[in-house]
Amino acid sequence: MKKQISLLFLLFILLYSCADDILDRTIFIPDENNPNLPTYTEWGYNSFGAIYERDYFLASNSIVPCKIMYVNGQLHFALQGTIRNNKMTLLFIFPHETISVYTQLLTLHDVEIDLNDDACIVKIIEDDVEKTLTVLNGKLHFKRAQLLTIDDVVSRVILSGVFELQFLENIFPASISNGRFDVGITNRDFFVQQF
């Protein structure tokens, strides 16, 4: 009888630890209007996508899709994926109230950021080459921020939203359009840095 209870307990532990692994995977559900992009969801699928000129910037199963860092009054929201078989990060930096733990990311619910605001910075890092964009216009809208709990234990914050921007690239206007994200953020993906 003790062996059966021990085996059931071990099975429960294994299943519970696998739940995090499953929730960390990127799930790509094609958009019905553009199957090269993921559809907009609010389920924490760890997916994002956007059209960068005529290429697709997409989440990948081999790269953590989102990292967030709070640094001295600014939130750094980074989407990390691939474009043209290259690794790329799209980094949005904007002022935000103090966040010291990842569950406070719920304050982003229905927050829209004007990327043309002087207090905002947008960067692209492609193959370790970083460039700060001269933004002409754009927005980052966190449509929904929700808490995911499993068996009354907080698992992650799900951030879902849309983004688009126009910027100067080699003196000509360029754009990132139809951007959408649906990412689950845990304490492994959120950092606080104070100077």
pLDDT per residue rounded down to tens, the chain (195 residues): 444 444 434 334 334 444 556 778 999 999 999 999 999 999 999 999 999 999 999 999 999 999 999 999 999 999 999 999 999 999 999 999 999 999 999 999 999 999 999 999 999 999 889 999 999 999 999 999 999 998 899 999 999 999 999 999 988 999 999 999 999 999 999 999 876
Residue 14's SS3 state is helix
Q: Where do the structural domains in the chain lie, given as residue ranges? A: 2-193
pTM of structure: 0.88
Tokens read off for 125: 């890092």
Q: Is the dihedral of CA 10, 15, 16, 18 positive or negative?
A: positive
Encode 48-66: b = buried (16+ Cβ within 10 Å), e = exposed: bbbbbeeebbbbeeeebbb
DSSP strand pairing (190-193 vs 66-71)? parallel
CA angle at residue 130 from 139 to 37, to 5 degrees? 50
Nearest CA among 142, 153, 77, 79 for reference residue 106: 142
CB 183 within 8 A of CB 162: no
